[in-house]
Structure 1
Amino acid sequence: MAATTGTGGPTVVPTLLYRDAKAAIAQLTEAFGFTAAAVYEGEDGYVQHAELTYGNGMVMLGTAGGEGAFAKAMAGAGPFGTYVVVDDVDAHHRRAAEHGVEILMPPTDQEYGSRDYMARDAEGNVWSFGTYAPGAGG
């Protein structure tokens, strides 16, 4: 049985911590096309929590080094990898490349029918973008 929340939003949301969360938000919105749905900052400019959306998906992020249980659990964590479904891989890749994003794999047709590319953000996280939509029945 699948879990549901009744909200209509995503039920799995990757969460990342960045040393420079403001720079991460800029890169993810400008280079990868995410939309900043919410950004909550402390008085010192520390990003306590941010929600960035893309299609019906979302990632949450904040500034590393906080005091909460999640920040402590993530201390020293390595890079994170996530996959985002996009309609036009080549256009998405061009946008990322134009913003100076490190491209790890150019747009490539996969044996299973997807077209994907892979990039690394400024803090080492690996982002894959492609046309394969898990669970879409095809």
Structure 2
Amino acid sequence: MASAAAGVPTIYPAILYEDAQAAIRTLTEAFGFTQEAVYEGEDGQVLHAELSCGNGRVMLGSKGRDGVFSRAMRDAGPAGVYVVVEEIDAHHARAVEHGVEILMPPTDQDYGARDYMARDAEGNVWSFGTYAPGSAG
């Protein structure tokens, strides 16, 4: 298995959207992601985008393009992505301000974490919480 430099993730969720530009706006404005790269075709479709949150990144693009990945994902259902954030209540308030559908408000879990769940406009479920898988403690 390949290893990465310290702090560099080795897993990157990749999601295709009908309206990738709207998804980028939701992820940056409502969820606080940082736009790292966006490559567009001549027709304005998002060929590839990378958005970061902490030391993690998500890759996304427009549905309906040609290519092996697009064809493989053509009939894929929504994805679920978990993101570690520290200030759950403030993060949740920001999402609410931007009109994001909240599936579960900030909730204290039996295992000590606090998290909430939201759905983006194309049905993908985003969970934000304080639990960091693999961390000591």
TM over 0.5: yes
> Could you list the runs of 4 or more consecutive aligned residues of structure 1 that deviate by over 2 angstroms after TM superposition?
5-9
CA 1:114–1:60: 2 relative to 1, 3 Å? same
Where 2:83 maps in the other structure, the secondary structure is strand
* Equivalent residue, structure 2, for 1:30: 29
* Equivalent residue, structure 2, for 1:60: 59
* Equivalent residue, structure 2, for 1:119: 118
Q: State TM-score, norm by structure 1.
A: 0.96
CA 1:7–1:130: 2 relative to 1, 3 Å? closer
* Equivalent residue, structure 2, for 1:90: 89
Q: Where in structure 1 are there 5+ consecutive unaligned residues?
A: none
* Equivalent residue, structure 1, for 2:69: 70
Deviations 1:3-47 (A, max 9, x none): 313485211000000000000000000000000100000111010
Displacement of 1:129 in angstroms is: 0.2
CA 1:11–1:94: 2 relative to 1, 3 Å? same
Matched residue type, 2:121:
A
CA 1:66–1:7: 2 relative to 1, 3 Å? farther
Q: Please say if residues 81 and 126 of structure 2, whose CA atoms lie closer than 8 Å, have aligned partners that are also in contact.
A: yes
Where 2:78 maps in the other structure, the secondary structure is coil
Where 1:133 maps in the other structure, the secondary structure is coil
* Equivalent residue, structure 2, for 1:19: 18
CA 1:117–1:8: 2 relative to 1, 3 Å? closer
Cα RMSD for the two superposed structures? 1.1
Matched residue type, 2:51:
L
Displacement of 1:76 in angstroms is: 1.1
Where 1:128 maps in the other structure, the secondary structure is strand
CA distance in 1, matches of 2:96, 2:62: 25
Matched residue type, 2:52:
T
Q: Please say if residues 40 and 47 of structure 2, whose CA atoms lie closer than 8 Å, have aligned partners that are also in contact.
A: yes
Where 1:9 maps in the other structure, the secondary structure is coil
